[in-house]
Amino acid sequence: MSIFEIFVLAFTAIIAENFVLSQFLGCCPFLGVSKKVETANGMGMAVTFVMALASLFTYFGQQLLVKINAEYLQTILFILIIAALVQFVEMFLQKMVPALYESLGIYLPLITTNCAVLGVAILNVQKESGLFESVLYGAFSGVGFWLAIVLLAGVRERIDTNDCPACYKGFPLTLTAAALIALAFSGLSGIKL
Amino acid sequence: MSKLLNGLKRGIITENPILVLVLGMCPTLATTSSMATAVGMGVAATIVLICSNIFVSLLRKIIPDKVRIAAYIVVIATFVTIVEMALHAFVPSLYDALGLFLPLIVVNCIILGRAEAYASKNNVLDSAIDGLSMGIGFTFSLLIVATIRELLGGGTLFAGSWFGIESEGITVFSKPALMMSLVPGGFLTLGFVLGMAQFLRTRSAKKKEEKEADSQ
């Protein structure tokens, strides 16, 4: 891959076809863990890491399935690989970065059920991309998720104390903020480099 | 029978997975741009939910506590694969419309949540009823969001392919706001629907309080 192709891939995955803001992948943590910029940052980092690793391992998993002619086991194998990876990341963070581990709390094991991770693995298979391209796409999509969640957390920190109708407090207000961010990003969708 | 009615009431009103518990946001946002795909998604997820609830409930005494989440995920993934293959064979139009979000039913928090919170503690019949009612509650909320989005974003109602049967639908107006069927419209509509649900909930709680205060 040339540098230009890598740049195109990065631009597409992070901005033009952002996983959260234009494909609805990974909405649960996007809405759930975006109360504070600091936690959102940690979550984004962890998800990016898991997505890149998941792209790497599911690539080999897919090769194995093709070899033994059992592609129908794709979903089951992929989710097992991702669950194992998340467990590994959890143990690693607990040992090395306990502060981040504490602040992510319950949301760390929930990365397993983040559809962005399984989504990127399946998309890689659908696009028939090679090993290097798969890992890059996984990492860049993760960065896209990271950007989106930090942006939303920034907005939420500011509107937290604002006045709004009582029934709109909490999730509805967050979703409206997300809609405005997505609206800004949709101006860039459809750009083909 | 009363069990079923109670379950349905819980699934649709008091413990609605989307409007009250706010779980499973991805399919709610991604498949609600038309009513046909929303119902397709709802039915597929309901089938998986019922089957996985039955199986988890059957296996609840065999699965060791430490690996239970992994075991539940494998059970769910199996049923998702079955549903995916069945749709691919019998309803290819729905299979194409749901696309990536069909295998992603595996990571729908509602299904894992019910396996953990309900099916692992209750008998088979109760779990099946719980799966059915939660599935209906999920489909019902998807349909509310999809109705608003299809009406404002496409100007139509009931249009598209319903389980392989093409429908013209009703054209309500001819110049729709396309943005409502795209991503921002999804967030906006869901926010509005959740806000309405919260409003109705606080109002009925207030009414109840007033009634109690009156009777004293």
Q: Which of A110, A137, A178, A166 is nearest to A54 (CA)?
A: A137
Phi, psi dihedral angles at B167 (to 5 degrees): -135, 135
Beta carbons of B24 and A28 less than 8 Å apart = yes
Interface touch B100/A179, C-beta < 8 Å: no
Per-residue pLDDT, A193: 65
Distance from CA of B35 to the nearest CA of A (A): 18
Find the helix or strand (DSSP H, E) in which A173 lies.
helix A171-186
Q: How far is CA A37 from the centre of its chain?
A: 16
**Residue B99: left (phi > 0), alpha (psi -120 to 50), or beta?**
left
What is the C-alpha separation between B180 and B187, in angstroms, rounded? Answer: 9
Nearest CA-CA partner of A110 in B74, B109, B21, B17: B109
- Sort out which chain A residues have CB atoms less than 8 A from B99's CB and list them: none
Contact A117, A54 (CB under 8 A): yes
Cβ of B77 and A76 within 8 Å? yes
Tokens describing residue B23: 């779980």
Q: What is the pLDDT of residue A189?
A: 76
In contact, B145 and B34? CB cutoff 8 Å: no
CA distances from B101 to A90, A99, A118, B28, B74 (A): 27, 35, 10, 10, 18
Mutate to test the interface with B, among A27, A112, A180 (most CBs of B within 10 A): A27
Nearest-5° Cα angle at A75, A74 to A79: 115
Residue type at A146 in one-letter notation:
W
- CB A175 to CB B80 under 8 A? no
Continuous H helices in chain B: 2-9, 25-30, 35-58, 68-90, 92-98, 109-114, 124-154, 183-215
Each residue of B22-38: b (16+ CB within 10 Å) or e? Answer: bbbbbbbbbbbbbbbbb
Residues pairing with B157 in the sheet: B170
Q: A167 and B78 in contact by Cβ < 8 A?
A: no
Q: Encoding tokens for residue B183?
A: 């991503």
The rounded distance, in Å, linking the Cα atoms of A131 and A124 is 9
In DSSP terms, B170 is beta-bridged to B157
Burial class (CB within 10 angstroms; exposed 0-12, middle 13-18, buried 19+) of B100: middle
CA distance B5 to B186: 31
CA distance B166 to B175: 22
Chain A residues close to B25, C-beta within 8 Å: 27-28, 31
- Residues of chain B with confidence (pLDDT) below 50: none
Q: Do A112 and B73 touch (CB under 8 A)?
A: yes
Find the closest chain A residue to B105 by CA distance: A115
* Measured distance CA(A72)–CA(A75) in Å, rounded: 8
**What stretches of B91-182 show up as alpha helix (H) in DSSP?**
92-98, 109-114, 124-154
Look at residue A99 and give its three-state secondary structure: helix
Q: What are phi and psi of B63, to 5 degrees?
A: -70, 125
What gap in Å lies between CA A86 and CA A25, rounded to an integer? 18
Interface test with chain A among B52, B106, B107, by most A beta carbons within 10 Å? B107
Kindly give the parts of chain A with pLDDT less than 70: 105-107, 192-193
Return d(Cα B23, Cα B35) in angstroms, integer: 20
